Structure 1
Amino acid sequence: MHTTEEDNTSRYPALDQITDDPFHLWEDHSKDSSMLILANGFLSDVQFYIISLFMIYLTQIINICAIIANSLSIAVFVKLGFSEPSNISLTALAVCDFTLAVLSTWVNLCFWLTYHNVRLPFHGPNVTYLTGGVQWPFLSSTIAWITAFISFERCLCILAPLKVRRLITTRSTFVAMLIIILLNFCPSFFTYIRYKFVWVFNPYLNRTILDTITVNSELAILFEKISIAICGVIQPLSAFLIVLICTVLLVVQLRKISSWRMSVTSAKSQRVQPEENPAASSSAGEARISHKEERLVRMIVTIAAIFIVCYIPTCIALLCYVVFDEFNMFGVYRRLSIVSSYITSLGQPISGSINILIYYKMASKFRSVFRRLVRLVRQEQKRHELE
């Protein structure tokens, strides 16, 4: 990535000194001896190549699974309709997971093609960074906040059900999803103030390719730092804490609900003629409603728990990004940053792939619509085969 005339001094090598290999490593000049050992000692060139290729293949497989799983989830939720607010938020979650998996697939595909000496009409690392890598943390933050909203909404429904049902409607949920997406994803476009696409001649390839330049003006640097600090670090970490707190509260409430149901069931079993007691039938109705709410809460808790486990590596990487200024794609700790990005990129696709299994296991309506949808697909395939 090259700089504009606003800053001709760059720590990066000239264009004719680099190849189109995405694993090409510039020499690290770290002032921190411990980090220098990590960058050059623990990760040699051979180790870095092996880890990178393995992670690319593994991530690509998981991304394909996430694309298929979230496509099916979106189709099922569309069939179910959006009369319930929870369907809107879960659909938004599936759409974001699907988009993130598509972007990750694009980045991995470009890296894989470049590594196998497929001469692309653009510089692989730089162009894929702006067309897929930049959006990844902002989409990840969007997913985190949607999960936080779902968990927070369930907490309110249990703690204050009468008041929340008036506030959490289909319209308010749709507006909330739109606001979350805009606030988290749109700031990623500020990055294009700092980095821009240009056509340059690459002597190594002996042709003109699409590359990027770095605008090192104070305004561009300020916009990038603000957008990444707020939307790439502060917002996702805040959402992670909200999900963690709400999940703990939901688990506590689940235990209280289970204890309450056991006490109600025990009281009913001691009654000789429960049908003659109006209060008994009322309690039975409340038990049925509570059981339905409990199943939904258990599903949300499971989704949130899986999200927490899968998002922990991302939180660690974000903290490293804050502590170490050069821990990024173009810094002196570039090698460690790339490996950490491979690891963190696994978490969200895994979470997105597992969600459909949770819906199928815990949501009876989702399961029935999913079965009908698969049955229709099979019938269409048989019809085409007969034709």
Structure 2
Amino acid sequence: MLTLEVNFSQHVKDDPMYISDEKMTTFIIVVDILVLGLFSVTGIISNIINMIIFVKQVLKDSMTVGLFSLAFTDFSIATLELTFSCTYLASVICPWSSVDFWALNNITLTWSICALYLTSCWITAIISLERCFCVVYPFNVKQIFTRGRCVLLIIVVYTLHISAVLPVYLVEKMEWLPFDFQANNGSVTSIQQRWIYSIAFSESTQELDIIMDITAGLFLFITPQLIVLVCSVWMAIALKLSSTVRARKDGDDNAALKSSTKYSNLTRQEKKLIKMVLFVDVLQLACNVPRITVIIYYHVVFPGLDMAVVKNFSTVLWTCALVINTISCFSNSLGYYFLNSLYRNMFRNLF
């Protein structure tokens, strides 16, 4: 972050959304560097382990290909987020650098992370769809979800979301710009000018941000969440119906057992499957809601905010959403370990 003492007017400093550079520096050290850095390292390590385990399964079908692709995407996200933390660390170590690290993070890194996170959400939706078909159409799923089709679909997803953020790099370019700042020389305060490698905000960049937030931030985020939710409900209903049919075929042989409050028609494997899908649902929802809330806050509740006022405030909100998104990069491993015996056994064999 560029720590220049910009000559804000008093009404700007009195705005409730205004956060001083001193407070922002503390936030950067605690959240951007320490918390996000720790979560990023955890995500990198956990997804390297995931990729090793899925490769050991020889990527024999579409499911393992999808899971490996998800692990690789989450690994890439965590790596970029670690770079994000390191860039902010550089801003603290070199506060008077001629490079605006805030702009570097929010242009070069943040949109790349956004594209990869969108890709991760859609790969998760594809995996959920295949799990749903395994229950609803068990005899046709292998013909529908082949390894070749899965690879092709993942390539399409990557291409689509990388293309979606390309306009940002074409319009929001970094360049050398003059900045005025206060220089204190004893009892004399003067306004001096420095050239900083940063981004120039204009009407075109603001319009592009609105378009990108609506498309990439809302539509492309909400759609995979809805797919995962629909697949989960569909699969749960199908499992319930199939268990009811099995119960009728069994007749009244186990009438005493069925009268127990702990009795369930679902098999142990079906219960694990439902827990896994529910885990993915809750994880996706918890990680996507903060980001969607921030977008709605800016473009619906308080549209047209002055960047001079909300630059630091905006960074705080987006960083909090980014930290929560980072949790999803390593939380998948917890679901695999506790709900998948094959993954758990292979994980234990690695150590």
* TM, length-normalised to structure 2: 0.78
Counterparts of 1:268 and 1:366, CA distance in 2: 36
What RMSD over aligned residues (CA atoms) do the two structures have, in Å? 3.8
Partners of 1:251 and 1:301 within 8 A in 2: no
- Which residue is equivalent to 2:258? none
Distance 1:337 1:216, change over 3 A: closer
Instruction: Give the residue type in structure 2 aligned to 1:177.
Output: I
Tell me the CA shift for residue 187 of structure 1: 2.0
Counterparts of 2:244 and 2:6, CA distance in 1: 60
Counterparts of 2:83 and 2:339, CA distance in 1: 33
- Which residue is equivalent to 1:334? 311
Instruction: Give the residue type in structure 2 aligned to 1:175.
Output: L
- Which residue is equivalent to 1:8? none
- Which residue is equivalent to 1:54? 30
- Which residue is equivalent to 2:164? 187
What are the ranges of 5 or more consecutive residues in structure 2 without an aligned counterpart?
184-191, 256-264
| Paired residue secondary structure (2:173) | strand
Counterparts of 2:322 and 2:39, CA distance in 1: 10
Partners of 1:28 and 1:332 within 8 A in 2: no
Counterparts of 1:23 and 1:96, CA distance in 2: 39
Distance 1:352 1:367, change over 3 A: same
Counterparts of 1:254 and 1:29, CA distance in 2: 61
Partners of 1:141 and 1:235 within 8 A in 2: yes
Deviates more, 1:153-162 or 1:139-148: 153-162
Instruction: Give the residue type in structure 2 aligned to 1:167.
Output: I
What are the ranges of 5 or more consecutive residues in structure 1 without an aligned counterpart?
1-18, 31-35, 271-286, 375-387
Instruction: Give the residue type in structure 1 aligned to 2:48.
Output: S
Instruction: Give the residue type in structure 2 aligned to 1:158.
Output: V
Alignment of structure 1 residues 200-279 onto 2, 5 Å: 211-214=197-200, 216=202, 225-257=210-242, 259=244
Partners of 2:2 and 2:101 within 8 A in 1: yes
Deviates more, 1:241-250 or 1:290-299: 290-299
Counterparts of 2:45 and 2:38, CA distance in 1: 11
Tell me the CA shift for residue 340 of structure 1: 1.1
Tell me the CA shift for residue 327 of structure 1: 5.7
**1:97 maps to which of 64, 74, 79:** 74
Alignment of structure 1 residues 132-147 onto 2, 5 Å: 132-147=109-124
Alignment of structure 1 residues 326-365 onto 2, 5 Å: 326=304, 330=307, 332-365=309-342
Instruction: Give the residue type in structure 1 aligned to 2:214.
Output: A
Tell me the CA shift for residue 202 of structure 1: 7.8
- Which residue is equivalent to 1:301? 278
Tell me the CA shift for residue 295 of structure 1: 3.8
Partners of 1:127 and 1:212 within 8 A in 2: yes
Tell me whether 1:175 sits opposite 2:152 in the alignment.
yes
| Paired residue secondary structure (1:81) | coil
Tell me whether 1:88 sits opposite 2:65 in the alignment.
yes
Distance 1:128 1:258, change over 3 A: same
- Which residue is equivalent to 1:161? 138
Tell me the CA shift for residue 54 of structure 1: 2.6
Counterparts of 2:78 and 2:154, CA distance in 1: 19
How many residues in Structure 1 have an aligned counterpart in Structure 2? 330
Q: Deviation per CA, 1:26-57, whole angstroms, max 9, x where unpaired?
A: 66978xxxxx85404xx566655444433222
Counterparts of 2:10 and 2:146, CA distance in 1: 54
Tell me whether 1:20 sits opposite 2:2 in the alignment.
yes
Tell me the CA shift for residue 175 of structure 1: 1.3
Counterparts of 2:87 and 2:162, CA distance in 1: 23
Distance 1:106 1:309, change over 3 A: same
Distance 1:325 1:28, change over 3 A: farther
Distance 1:202 1:331, change over 3 A: closer
Instruction: Give the residue type in structure 1 aligned to 2:40.
Output: N
Tell me whether 1:372 sits opposite 2:339 in the alignment.
no
Instruction: Give the residue type in structure 1 aligned to 2:17.
Output: A
Partners of 1:199 and 1:208 within 8 A in 2: no
Question: Percent of aligned pairs with the same residue?
Answer: 21
Distance 1:116 1:213, change over 3 A: closer
Tell me the CA shift for residue 235 of structure 1: 1.0
Tell me the CA shift for residue 313 of structure 1: 1.0
* TM, length-normalised to structure 1: 0.71
Instruction: Give the residue type in structure 1 aligned to 2:197.
Output: D
Counterparts of 2:42 and 2:25, CA distance in 1: 25
Tell me the CA shift for residue 138 of structure 1: 2.2
Instruction: Give the residue type in structure 2 aligned to 1:126.
Output: A
Tell me the CA shift for residue 65 of structure 1: 0.9
Distance 1:147 1:346, change over 3 A: same
Q: Deviation per CA, 1:156-189, whole angstroms, max 9, x where unpaired?
A: 3322333443211111111111111211233212
Partners of 2:217 and 2:292 within 8 A in 1: no
